């Protein structure tokens, strides 16, 4: 480390040598990585009270004999200018970068080769690339479905995934002994045997309970779609997963008819799968709709000719629907849903199945493994 030496000889040669050593010391310190940081380095050379240049001022200039003062002063000013300028440049070049490397804070100085200091990081090494996925095909499909209904003026609703028996079953007109209420089909929250049946908590088996929650909050008219996760006590296989996704829909107003249901869903299917798809409605049963219909669309892969995707039938069954059962309105009658005055339709579709057909995914478990290599295929 350089220290300012005593100067006894004020001859030209001696001054020349002393200032040259000063500059060489500065240059060599400025070359090395600024391990203690740029500020410490600046204070060492330019600090007002005890910086090296202040010491030179005290020891060389003030002590100089009268005839030597001019020459020392000139050389000192030159040194101050150059060192000052270089220190400013170093501030930019040696900007301290604190990088967390394996939990340790390493200090990296730009512009210095990494071999010269123990704490240095070679910023010329390639960085760590984070694998980027993309919007999950289920979420993408869900957003597409929701967007189609938004464009028809529907709003978007949500409800809890942990639901009570009342909303999941009772208010949807499921009879007390309906098989869906059995623990074979439904995942119940444990330890609630003491509670009355309707208060028992479960993981919702469909998004339909949000129909009731919506009508409790809001008097008619209602037009709403409800995307969300649902759960069933199913053993996982290529087409079953205990967790999957649905989009529910509900429209209630005065004078809503089955034609409105057909027109709306026909339009939605064309918007989702292309204007050439046809829809087919055939009788079905759900406790909360009467009449009920399952809806199929012409296979969007073979256009109805018959292929593996549609099992040679030309049709793909995509959703359940129906006219809201008056008994359901009975549970929210107080809020303006008099079955004599209002009518409505509802529908529900499985998002995962639609996504699997759209993107030709043959195993539902792929949707839930979180493998970025799977997601990359949909980028």
Q: With respect to ligand DAH, which residue has the nearer C-beta, 83 or 325?
A: 325
Q: Which of 112, 141, 168, 321 binds ligand DAH (CB under 6 A)?
A: 321
CA distance 230 to 243: 6
Q: Which of 42, 206, 213, 353 binds ligand DAH (CB under 6 A)?
A: 206
CA separation, residue 17 to residues 3, 67, 329, 351 (Å):
15, 18, 102, 83
Q: Which span sits near ligand DAH by CB under 6 A: 97-105, 162-170, 344-352, 355-363?
A: 344-352
**Interaction of residue 347 with ligand DAH, rule CB under 6 A:** yes
User: Rounded to the nearest whole angstrom, what is the least distance from the CB of residue 264 to ligand DAH in the complex?
Assistant: 12
Which DSSP state fits 188? B
Whether the CB-CB separation of 298 and 278 falls below 8 Å is answered with: yes
Q: Which of 170, 248, 325, 352 binds ligand DAH (CB under 6 A)?
A: 248
Q: Determine phi and psi for 237, rounding to 5 degrees.
A: -150, -165
Cβ neighbour number for residue 84 with a 10 Å cutoff: 13
Q: Which of 26, 154, 244, 286 binds ligand DAH (CB under 6 A)?
A: 286
CA distance 162 to 168: 10
* 151: Cβ contacts below 8 Å, ≥ 6 apart: 271
Q: Which of 289, 300, 332, 337 binds ligand DAH (CB under 6 A)?
A: 289
User: Rounded to the nearest whole angstrom, what is the least distance from the CB of residue 346 to ligand DAH in the complex?
Assistant: 3
Q: Determine phi and psi for 166, rounding to 5 degrees.
A: -55, -55
**Interaction of residue 228 with ligand DAH, rule CB under 6 A:** no
**Interaction of residue 208 with ligand DAH, rule CB under 6 A:** yes
Provide the 3-class DSSP secondary structure of residue 199.
Answer: helix
Q: Which of 137, 157, 304, 348 binds ligand DAH (CB under 6 A)?
A: 348
* 183: Cβ contacts below 8 Å, ≥ 6 apart: 233
User: Rounded to the nearest whole angstrom, what is the least distance from the CB of residue 261 to ligand DAH in the complex?
Assistant: 9
Note the residues at the interface with ligand DAH (CB under 6 A). Answer: 206, 208, 248, 286, 289, 320-322, 346-348
């Amino acid at each position: 480390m350089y220290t300012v030496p005593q100067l006894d000889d004020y001859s030209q040669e001696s001054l020349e040598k002393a200032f040259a050593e000063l500059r060489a010391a500065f240059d060599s310190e400025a070359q090395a990585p600024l391990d203690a940081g740029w500020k410490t380095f600046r204070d060492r050379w330019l600090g007002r009270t005890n910086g090296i240049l202040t010491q030179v001022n005290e020891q060389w200039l003030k002590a100089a004999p009268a005839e030597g003062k001019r020459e020392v002063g000139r050389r000192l000013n030159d040194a101050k200018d150059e060192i000052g300028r270089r220190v400013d440049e170093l501030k930019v070049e040696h900007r301290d970068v604190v990088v967390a490397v394996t939990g340790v804070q390493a200090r990296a100085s730009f512009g210095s080769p990494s071999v010269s200091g123990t704490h240095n990081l070679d910023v010329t090494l390639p960085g760590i690339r984070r694998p980027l996925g993309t919007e999950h095909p289920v979420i993408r499909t869900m957003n597409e479905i929701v967007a189609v209904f938004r464009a028809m003026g529907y709003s978007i609703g949500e409800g809890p995934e942990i639901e009570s028996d009342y909303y999941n079953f009772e208010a949807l007109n499921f009879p007390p002994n309906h098989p869906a209420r059995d623990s074979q089909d439904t995942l119940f929250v444990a330890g609630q045997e003491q509670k009355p049946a309707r208060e028992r908590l479960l993981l919702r088996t469909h998004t339909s309970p949000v129909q009731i929650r919506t009508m409790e909050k809001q008097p008619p008219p209602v037009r709403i779609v409800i995307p969300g996760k649902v759960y069933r006590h199913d053993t996982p296989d290529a087409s079953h997963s205990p967790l999957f996704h649905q989009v529910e829909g509900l429209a209630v107003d005065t004078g809503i008819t089955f034609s409105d249901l057909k027109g709306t869903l026909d339009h939605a299917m064309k918007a989702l799968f292309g204007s050439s798809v046809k829809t087919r409605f055939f009788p079905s049963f759900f406790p909360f709709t009467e009449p009920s219909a399952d809806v199929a669309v012409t296979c969007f892969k073979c256009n109805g000719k018959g292929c593996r995707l549609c099992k040679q039938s030309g049709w793909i069954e995509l959703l359940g629907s129906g006219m809201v059962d008056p008994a359901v309105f009975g549970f929210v009658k107080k809020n303006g849903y008099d079955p004599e005055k209002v009518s409505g339709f509802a529908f529900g579709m499985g998002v995962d199945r639609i996504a699997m057909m759209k993107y030709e995914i043959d195993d539902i478990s792929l949707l839930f493994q979180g493998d970025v290599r799977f997601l990359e295929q949909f980028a």
